[in-house]
Amino acid sequence: MDLRDAVVIGIGMVVMLLLSDLQGAVGIRFAMDREDCFSHDVQYEGDTVHVSFVVIKADARWHYTEDGVDLVIKGPSGDQIHDFRDKTSEKFEFVAQNKGLHRFCFTNKSPYQETIDFDVHVGHFTYYDQHAKDEHFDPLLEQIAKLEEALYNIQFEQHWLEAQTDRQTIGTVLKNQVAFLVFSH
C-alpha cells in the first residue's frame, strides 16, 4: 500500500465516521426562574451524548451576578449520571448505559431570571463492527482522482493567469518608463 492509498483509506474512514454520526443536535435557549427540566431520547445503548450549556446573564445590568446554575443529568431509570453545581458554562459527554429518555434538570438559585443556552447531541456509529471493503472505496477513489485532475487544471489556469498578469504589468511599466524617458528629455 502506497501513501496515496493510505490517505484515501484515511479519508474514507473519516467520511464514514462523519456520515454515521449524523443524528440531529437539539439546541434551545430558554429563560428560567427556578427549575426547568428537559428530556432527550437516546435510541441506542452505548451512544455518546454530548451536552453543553451557557448561562447568559439577565437582561438588566443591575441584576448581574456571578452565580451559576445547577444541572442534574439522570438516565431513563432515574439513576443520576452527573451533576454540575454553580456553573455558568460547561461541556460534558457520556456514554449512555441504557436507551430511553434522559432528563436534564436545571436549577437557578439566583433571585433573578437567567437565560440558558442548552445543546444536546447524540452520536451513534451504526456500523462500528463492520469493516470497509475494497468495493466501498472504488467510487471514492474515482471521485478523488476526478478532484485531483480538477485541482491540477485549476492550478494550471492560475499559473497561466499569474504569468499573463506579470507580463501585462511588466509591459505597462516598460511603456511608462519609455514614455517618461522620451518626454523628460
pLDDT, the chain, mean: 80
CB 102 within 8 A of CB 75: yes
CB 28 within 8 A of CB 118: yes
pLDDT tens digit string along 114-153? 888 898 988 876 555 566 677 778 888 889 888 988 887 7
Cell of 51: 451536552
Residue 37 parent element (H or E): strand 35-42
- Where in the chain are the domains? 23-123, 131-185
pLDDT for residue 160 is more than 60: yes
CATH of 23-123, picked from 3.30.479.10, 2.60.120.380, 3.90.25.10, 2.40.50.140, is 2.60.120.380
CA atoms of 110 and 154, how far apart (whole Å): 59
> What letter would DSSP give residue 96?
-
Query: Coil, strand, or helix at residue 43?
Result: coil
CA atoms of 40 and 76, how far apart (whole Å): 10
